[in-house]
Amino acid sequence: MKFNTMQKDIKDLVEISRHYGKNKRAVIAGGGNTSLKTADRMWIKASGFPLATIEEGGFAIIDREKLHVISTAVYSEDPFEREREIKYDLTAANLTPGRRPSVETSLHDLINYKFVVHLHPTLVNGILCSVEADKHVDAIFGSETLYLPYTDPGYNLYKEIERQLATYRKSSKTDPSVILIQNHGIFVGADTTDEIREIYDRIFELLEKNAVESPSEELSEIPGDLLDVLPALRMMVSKRRLKTLRLRNNGLIEHFTTSEESFNLISKPYTPDIITYCKSNYLYFENKGSAGDLRKDLGIEIGAFKKRFGYLPKVLLIRGIGMIAVGDNAADADNILDIYEDKMLIAWHSSSFGGPRPMTYEQIRFIDTWEVEHYRRKTATGAAGSGPADQRIVIVTGAAIGLGAGIARGLFNKGANVVIADVNEEAGKGMLEELDNMELKNQAMFVKTDISDPESLEKLMLETVASFGGIDCFISNAGILRPGGLDEMDDETFDLVTRINYNAYFYGVKAVSRIMKIQQDAHAANSDDNDQESEKRFFDIIQVNSISGLTGSKKNFACAGAQFGSIGLTQSFALELAPYNIKVNSICPGNFFEDPLWMDPENGFFLQYLNAGKVPGAKTIEDVRKHYESQVPLGRGCRVEDVLKAVLYILEQAYETGQAIPVTGGQIMLK
C-alpha cells in the first residue's frame, strides 16, 4: 500500500509540474521547480529538465538527513568558496548522480508540506517587481503569506527563509501556504497537488480580474527592409560560432521601443532569469535613417557594447523593427524572446503598483558571476554541436516530399535550421510536424513557395531571415520531370519544364545571393586580422541537378536541356560570387529507383518511361527497372543518404566551387 501511495505521489508531482510548465504565464524557459517530500527522501526537479516535459527521471532524489547538514554547517565567508562548499554537501546528499539538484533544494526542504511548486508567473512578478510590492501582499495573496524582500539566491536566501519561517511558526503554529520573494517569484506548499492548484487558481483569478489590459501581443507584419539589416547584424554578433537571430514585434514591443524613455523602463533586469538568459545589458536603436545608416550604427554600437561589457548583446530593440534575440541556437533565441517579452509584461503590470523596480547593481553582479546560473544557462542552451551543418540556416526547395524531404530531414538531424520551401502546403506542413517532434535545439519552418515566382521567393527570404537571422545555404532542389520525344512534347510542357528546372534556379540564386553578399560584407567589415575569434565565412548555393545534366537523355530532352543549362549557370554564378565567399555547386544524382516517384504504379517514372518507349523491347515496369539498374556499375539506384553525403561535403570544404558532382554509382565518370 505504501509503495502504491508513493507511486501516486510521484505521478501527481509529474502531472502538476507539466501543468504549470506548459503555461508561459507561469514558467518561462523551463524556470521554476517542484518537489515532493517523505520523511527521509525528497524528489526535486533537476537542473536542465524543463517542467513542461519532465518525466520521473527528471527529478533528483535527495537524502533529507544528509541534506540537513547544510543547516548547521559553518561555511566560508567568501561567497564563491561558500557556494563551492555547499555544492559539495548537496552532492553528498544526492542519491541520483548525473542529475544536478536545484539550487533551491534546501529551501524546499524547509517547507513543511509534502508538495512545493515554485513558479515565476508574469502577473505575480508584476507586483513583486514593483516599488510598492510590500504594500499589496496581504490584500492580494492573503494572510497565510510570507513576504521577503529580495535576497541573493542560494545559501543567503535559504538562511533568510529559515529565519523567517521560524518567526512565522511561532505566531501561526503552521507554515505559510504562500511564500513571496521580491524580484524573484512565488512558492506554494500543500499536502496535495489539488490544494496547490486551488491556491494558484485563486491567485491567478484575482490578478487577472484586476490586471490592466496590455497592448496587443499579436505579431506585426515583417518590415521589408529587414533583409538589409538582420543578416548583417547576425555577422556582427557571431564570432567563432554563427548565432541564430529571431525577430518578434507586436503592440507590446512597439510600446517599449517608441523612444529611449520607454526603453529605459525595461533597460535593467528584474529577476535572475532575465540575467541568466538575456544578460544584464541590452541595446536600443532609434532607427531614424536608412537601412544602410542603421547597419553602420549597429556596427559602431555593438563594438562599443563589447568593449564596455565584455560580451556581445543578447537582446536588441530597434524602433520600427522590433525585438531581436541573439541565441546560440533557435531554442535559445526563443527563450530569450519569451523571457524579455515577459519582462515587458512585468513592467506593464507593475505600473499599477508604483512602477517597476529593477534589481540593484550588487544583485545583478551576484547573478552574473554565480556558477549555478552559468550551469543552468549551459544546460538550457545545450552543448555546442559540431559538423558542417550544425546551426547553419538552410533553405531546401521542394522539401515537402521525396529527395528534398530526405535532404531536409538529414540536415535537420545534423543540427541545421531547415526551411521547408514547397508549393505543396499539406505535405510541407506534414514534414514540419515530423521535424518538430524531434525536440532538438535547432528548428524547422515551412514557407509555401512557388519557386517560379520571384515575389514568392522574396517572401521566402524575408520569413527565413525574420525567423533565423540570415541564410547560410540555399539548396535549389525543386524540379519536375516530363519525358517525351520530339513528336510528343508540346510547347507548353517544354516551357513548364524549363521554367521550373532552369529559370527558377536563376530566380532563387538572385534572391538569396543578395542576402549572402550583405552577410559577407558585414563579416568583412567587422573582422579583425588580429582577433583570434574572427574567421572566414563561406556560404553555399547548391543546385540538385541530375544525371541528365551530365549526359543526354533519350526522350527526356526538356529535362536534360534545363539541367545542362543549369550547370552552365552554376559555373557562371560561381565565378561571379566567389569574391563574396559564396560557393556555388551542383549535385547530379543518379536515378532514385526506390523512390515513389519511380515506383508509383499509376504515374511513376518507370511507367512513364515504359509508355514513352524509352527502353526498346521493354514490356513491363520490371523490364524498365532492370534496364536502368544494369547501367550502374555499383548495381543499385541512388539513395537519399548518398546525396546527403555530397551536400555535407560541399558544406564542409572551403576550396570547391563551380562543380557538378556526380552521385551516380559510377554510371557517369568524369574525364
The pLDDT of residue 32: 86
> Phi and psi at residue 23, in whole multiples of 5°?
-100, 105
Question: Cα–Cα distances in Å, from 468 out to 228, 243, 301, 444, 538?
Answer: 14, 9, 22, 10, 17
> What would the pLDDT profile of 393-446 be if each residue is shown by its tens digit?
999 999 998 899 999 999 999 999 999 999 999 999 999 999 988 878 899 999
User: Which of 218, 527, 467, 442 has its CA nearest to residue 325?
Assistant: 467
User: Residue 355: which region, alpha, beta or left (left: phi > 0; alpha: psi -120 to 50)?
Assistant: left
Residue 619 pLDDT > 70: yes
Residue labelled with grid coordinates 526603453: 263
- State the Cα–Cα distance between residues 294 and 243, nearest whole angstrom: 20
Residues 6 or more apart in contact with residue 362 via CB below 8 angstroms: none
> What would the pLDDT profile of 484-526 be if each residue is shown by its tens digit?
677 777 777 777 777 888 888 999 999 999 999 999 999 988 7
Q: What is the mean pLDDT of the chain?
A: 89
The answer to whether 508 and 575 are in contact (CB under 8 A) is: no
Decide the pairing of beta strands 185-190 and 115-119. antiparallel
The pLDDT of residue 1: 42
Instruction: State the CB neighbour count (10 A cutoff) for residue 658.
Output: 17
Could you tell me the sign of the dihedral formed by the alpha carbons of 354, 355, 361, 362, in that order?
positive
- State the Cα–Cα distance between residues 36 and 253, nearest whole angstrom: 39
- State the Cα–Cα distance between residues 401 and 326, nearest whole angstrom: 32
Query: First-to-last CA distance in the chain?
Result: 78
Residue 223 corresponds to which amino acid? P
For the chain, domains (ranges, CATH) are 2-210 (3.40.225.10), 224-263+283-357 (no CATH), 393-590+639-663 (3.40.50.720), 592-631 (no CATH)
What strands lie across the sheet with 444-448, from one edge to the other?
444-448, 417-422, 393-397, 473-476, 539-544, 582-589, 660-663
> What would the pLDDT profile of 126-166 be if each residue is shown by its tens digit?
999 999 998 888 888 877 899 999 988 888 888 999 999 99
Give me the percent of the chain exceeding a pLDDT of 70: 94
Residue 40 pLDDT > 90: yes
Own/partner long-range contacts of 571-579 (Cβ < 8 Å, ≥24 apart): 571/658, 573/509, 573/513, 573/541, 574/657, 574/658, 575/658, 577/513, 577/516, 577/517, 577/541, 578/657
The pLDDT of residue 20: 94
Residue labelled with grid coordinates 531536409: 408
Q: Which cell numbers hold the place of 92? A: 553528498
DSSP 8-state assignment for residue 245: E
Burial (0-12, 13-18, 19+ Cβ within 10 Å), 282: buried
Strands (E) in 93-209, as ranges, are 115-119, 145-148, 178-181, 185-190
> What would the pLDDT profile of 210-258 be if each residue is shown by its tens digit?
888 888 878 878 887 889 999 999 999 998 889 999 999 999 999 999 9
Question: Cα–Cα distances in Å, from 505 out to 64, 446, 451, 514, 543?
Answer: 65, 19, 8, 14, 8
The pLDDT of residue 668: 83
Residue 528 corresponds to which amino acid? D
pTM over 0.85: yes
> What would the pLDDT profile of 380-399 be if each residue is shown by its tens digit?
555 556 789 999 999 999 99
Decide the pairing of beta strands 322-327 and 315-318. antiparallel
- State the Cα–Cα distance between residues 177 and 109, nearest whole angstrom: 14
